[in-house]
Amino acid sequence: MAHPVTWFQISGRDGSRLQSFYKDVFGWRIKPSADGTMGMVSPDKPGGIAGGVGASQNGNPSVAIYVNVKDLNAHLQKIEGAGGRMTMPPMDLPAGMGAIAGFSDPEGNWIGIWQPPTPKKAVKRAAARKSAKKPAVKAKRKAGKRR
């Protein structure tokens, strides 16, 4: 699964439509369950979990999950292009815990998306590379002026 969640079941009136939507938006691989009542999503990355997408028993949509994404805004655009609707704009979480947003899928299910925080080590490495380049650039400029 390209964008892991902890556990989920997404249901609505039109199970096939929902399965197509989630395949398009998140690239999930969905296979029919043994009894054919639901599409099963298998975890194919560490940290992902199994879940199901299909028709609900009573026809009412229901869900409560968060899906991990790398870029909230890019995914919200993709979601809206596939027939979803943003229902909660991106917002930063306290204590550097990343950011969240929410949307409704074509059947009206509310889904949260979570953009994890940038790892501190990666930020420190980038800052170190940037500051290491500055002296070298200054030295080249000084050498050029001496000629």
Q: Is the pLDDT of residue 17 over 70?
A: yes
pLDDT at res. 9: 83
pLDDT at res. 131: 55
Q: Which of 46-50, 83-87, 112-116 has the highest mean pLDDT?
A: 83-87
DSSP secondary structure, 73-129, as one string? HHHHHHHHHTT-EEEEEEEEPGGG--EEEEEE-TT--EEEEEEPPPPHHHHHHHHHH
The mean pLDDT of 38-62, rounded to a whole number, is 83
Looking at the DSSP bridge assignments, the partners of residue 115 are 99
The mean pLDDT of 33-37, rounded to a whole number, is 84
Asked whether the whole model's pTM tops 0.85, one would answer no
